[in-house]
Amino acid sequence: MDVLSEHHYVVIDDFLDDGLYGKLREFFNQKLSAFEQAGIGAANQNLIKRNIRGDRTYWLDRGRDEDLQDFWLLLDEAKQILNRYCYLSLSGEEFHLAHYPSGGHYARHLDQFEGRNNRMISMVIYLNHNWQPHHGGQLEILDGKREIHLVDPMAKRCVLFKSAEVPHAVLKSFADRYSITGWLLYQPPGIAALLT
């Protein structure tokens, strides 16, 4: 929590245990045929622009995706810890599975919609077996000092960052790249708390 507060992002290795990692990979593979081309913008303004974003996504739902009970419990625990130590009043989430095929990328952006400021913490959990540097696909983070940091999408690695304050990109991937990506939300939308 100290690193997140001070540097606006934190990388946590081995965030998932082997059992949950295996369940998430299996669920991911089961749902691949249901993935849709990802767009940019909120639901009513969502546009497909492959020159900006080249991944495919499957949106998760607590009620429907009951096989992911351990994952939902992990998210609840993360929200409780952030609320306790960072005073965020997080009470919701929105998450999707993300598949970047070879050639996929996502240009630099912030995780916040115009007119909606309830995304507080972005969370990315990687599901990539034996990822190698030549596979590309790094998460590029621009920190508060305008310095660039590259994060390899290694299996079980989690990255947390401030949604409205950390510009980031996904560099071009040269292999299939899998992640669970989402946002921990302050409710109701339209009102934001500050991470101090």
Quote the mean pLDDT of the chain: 88
Q: Give the CA distances from residue 38 to residues 55, 84, 162, 173, 182, in Å, rounded to whole numbers and listed in that order.
A: 6, 33, 22, 16, 13
Whether the full predicted model's pTM is greater than 0.85, yes or no, is yes
pLDDT higher than threshold 80 for residue 73: yes
Residue 74: pLDDT over 90: yes
Residues paired with residue 141 on neighbouring β-strands, in sequence order: 149, 168
Per DSSP, the three-state class of 100 is strand
CB-based contact 83:11 (threshold 8 Å):
no
User: What is the length of the chain?
Assistant: 196
CATH of 2-170, one of 3.40.30.10, 3.40.225.10, 3.30.43.10, 2.60.120.620: 2.60.120.620
Place of tokens 């990506």: 181
Region of poorest pLDDT, from 31-40, 118-127, 187-196: 187-196
Ranges of each domain in the chain: 2-170
Average pLDDT over residues 81-101: 93
Tens digits of residue pLDDT in 24-68: 999 999 999 999 987 665 555 555 566 677 899 999 999 999 999
Confidence tier at 86 by pLDDT (50, 70, 90): confident
**pLDDT tens for each residue of 163-185:** 999 999 999 999 999 999 999 99
Give the strand pairing for 106-109 and 148-151.
unpaired
List, in sequence order, the alpha helices (H) in the chain.
Answer: 2-7, 18-31, 69-86
* CA dihedral (121, 106, 12, 76) positive or negative: positive
